[in-house]
């Protein structure tokens, strides 16, 4: 008995030592996806499962979806979604603790939707949640052993330790990536700096010309910002800038680039967006700002210039946006003059 126990401990030690050797490689990865792929490859080498996967949490729906899948039926499981709490993967994510199923026939946590998609009968499973920066973001899952037999508590302990190593390595990649981003992000508002916008704009302008796609941008300028600062103080002015940045980020797509363009100006780059659709974005932003400003201690308004090119349109997008911005401001001045005359 003692000999068998010692052999198990030795096997566990060898597996963990094997994984810690690759930790440096994971930490050297340039992206989170690259790090995750390395973790998945190593798990496959150590356990030789029939299928293994990493399921990621969808932030909007809280569902789990198969982000990375390797092994049999990987093409069928890729991007398949599980409802919140569904299956062993959903259960361990909600409960925050790893677990295994020795006999699938006797455990109600087997997901029927997964069972139907696989080209084999699910017999045994392991699932371990991944926690990064104090948040559970997904689950690693092993389905069936290639060799005969079921997963055991010892397998679970090894897998749990491996995921803990993976978490530490991925956090390093995350922090390194975050530090690089700091060079491109405005410290006050949390949106990108002008230099980043210029770089991205050049790329999108080139892409739009190559594929004859539309390209639009908006320039958002706070009206009479200097007067607001003089009357209410710079602290109030900073609060307005932060509130406006939040509104702009919420109003656009993930692919759009929101930038601190100048002291009281923001620019939004809208790839593959026609003038008509950019106009809809401008209208939405104006409505959101109007609602937010009424709740704010200091009421403010903005003028928004729109520039668009691509497809049949020609000319500088930036120049068009700047001219349109001036047009919007002039219209407000004229309206104010007419009101005073009345």
- Listing DSSP states for 235-285 in one string gives HHHHHHHHHHHHHHHHHS-TTSEEEE-SSSEEEEEEET--HHHHHHHHHHH
pLDDT at 9: 45
Task: Name the token pair of 104.
Answer: 């699938």
What is this structure's pTM? Answer: 0.53
Q: CATH assignment of 194-337?
A: 3.30.70.270
Min mean pLDDT across 58-72, 82-96, 261-275, 305-319 is at 305-319
Nearest Cα neighbor of 138 from 58, 50, 75 is: 58
Q: Quick one: fold of 2-182?
A: Beta-Lactamase (3.30.450)
User: Is pLDDT at 17 greater than 60 in this prediction?
Assistant: no
pLDDT band at 267 (very low <50, low <70, confident <90, very high): very high
Q: Which residue has the higher pLDDT, 89 or 204?
A: 89
Domain ranges of the chain: 2-182, 194-337
pLDDT band at 4 (very low <50, low <70, confident <90, very high): very low
CA distance 171 to 341: 63
Instruction: Provide mean pLDDT across the span 69-84.
Output: 94
pLDDT at 176: 64
58-145-11-139 Cα dihedral, nearest 10 degrees: 10
Could you tell me the CA-to-CA distances from 146 to 48, 51, 72, 124 in Å, in that order?
6, 9, 11, 11
Nearest Cα neighbor of 162 from 33, 29, 22, 37 is: 22
CB 299 within 8 A of CB 236: no
pLDDT tens figures, 196-239: 899 889 988 888 887 788 999 999 999 999 999 999 999 999 99
The residue assigned the tokens 């980020």 is 249
């Amino acid at each position: 008995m003692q000999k068998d126990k010692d052999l198990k401990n030795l096997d566990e030690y060898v597996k963990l030592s094997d994984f810690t050797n690759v930790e440096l490689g994971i930490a050297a990865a340039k992206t989170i996806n690259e790090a995750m792929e390395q973790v998945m490859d190593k798990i496959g080498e150590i356990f030789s499962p029939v299928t293994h996967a990493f399921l990621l949490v969808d932030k909007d729906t809280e569902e789990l979806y198969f982000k990375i899948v390797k092994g049999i039926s990987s093409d069928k499981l890729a991007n398949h979604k599980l409802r919140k709490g569904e299956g062993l993967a959903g259960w361990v994510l909600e409960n925050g603790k790893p677990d295994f199923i020795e006999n699938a026939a006797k455990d109600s946590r087997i997901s029927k939707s997964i069972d139907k998609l696989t080209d084999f009968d699910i017999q045994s499973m392991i699932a371990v949640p991944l926690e990064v920066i104090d948040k559970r973001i997904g689950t690693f899952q092993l389905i069936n052993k290639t060799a005969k037999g079921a997963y055991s508590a010892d397998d679970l302990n090894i897998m749990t330790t491996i995921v803990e190593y993976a978490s530490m390595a991925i956090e390093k990649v995350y922090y390194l990536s975050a530090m690089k981003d700091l060079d491109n992000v405005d410290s006050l508002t949390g949106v990108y700096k002008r230099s980043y916008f210029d770089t991205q704009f050049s790329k999108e302008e080139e892409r739009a010309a190559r594929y004859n796609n539309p390209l639009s941008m908006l320039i958002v300028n706070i009206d009479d910002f200097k007067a607001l600062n003089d009357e209410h103080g710079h602290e109030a002015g900073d609060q307005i800038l932060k509130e406006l940045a939040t509104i702009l980020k919420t109003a656009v797509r993930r692919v759009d680039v929101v930038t601190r363009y100048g002291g009281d100006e923001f620019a939004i780059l809208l790839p593959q967006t026609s003038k008509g659709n950019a106009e809809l974005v401008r209208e939405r932003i104006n409505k959101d700002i109007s609602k937010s400003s009424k709740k704010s201690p200091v009421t403010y308004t903005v003028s928004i210039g729109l520039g668009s090119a691509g497809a049949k349109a020609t000319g500088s997008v930036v120049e068009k946006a700047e001219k349109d911005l001036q047009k919007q401001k002039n219209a407000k001045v004229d309206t104010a003059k007419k009101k005073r005359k009345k």
